[in-house]
Amino acid sequence: GENVEQHPSTLSVQEGDSAVIKCTYSDSASNYFPWYKQELGKRPQLIIDIRSNVGEKKDQRIAVTLNKTAKHFSLHITETQPEDSAVYFCAASNRGNTNAGKSTFGDGTTLTVKP
């Protein structure tokens, strides 16, 4: 099955700096890569996603890049703000697979943005 590794497990940055979180996946058939943000005590919520036919996607201060050859994808947050502090999860799934399109999640990165 799919295996997703996420690094780093913790990340501390100064407000205004950039943050980068990286994930690698093992199944070359995976073609959908969402990122979720989970604030303390809350549910995970999608913040951005990318499909395998796209190399990069941006949404304001958040961007995701995908390297299919190397089987890794990254989340980039620019101009970080204290409210970006949360746990971020990457995931990988195969949308074309009849096996429910279930996602395999990374173990999460705890991002702390210091004011």
Give residues in contact with another protein (CB under 8 A). Answer: 6, 32, 34, 36, 42-46, 49, 89, 93, 95, 98-108
Q: CB of 110: closest distance to another protein in angstroms?
A: 8
Q: Between 19 and 34, name the residue whose CB sits nearer to another protein.
A: 34
Reading phi first (left if > 0) and then psi (alpha if -120 to 50, else beta), residue 16 is in left
Q: Between 42 and 114, name the residue whose CB sits nearer to another protein.
A: 42
Alpha carbon 75 to its chain centroid, in Å, reads 5
DSSP-assigned letter for residue 103? P
Q: Between 22 and 79, name the residue whose CB sits nearer to another protein.
A: 22
Q: CB of 11: closest distance to another protein in angstroms?
A: 15
> What length is written for the chain?
115
DSSP H or E run through 112? strand 109-114
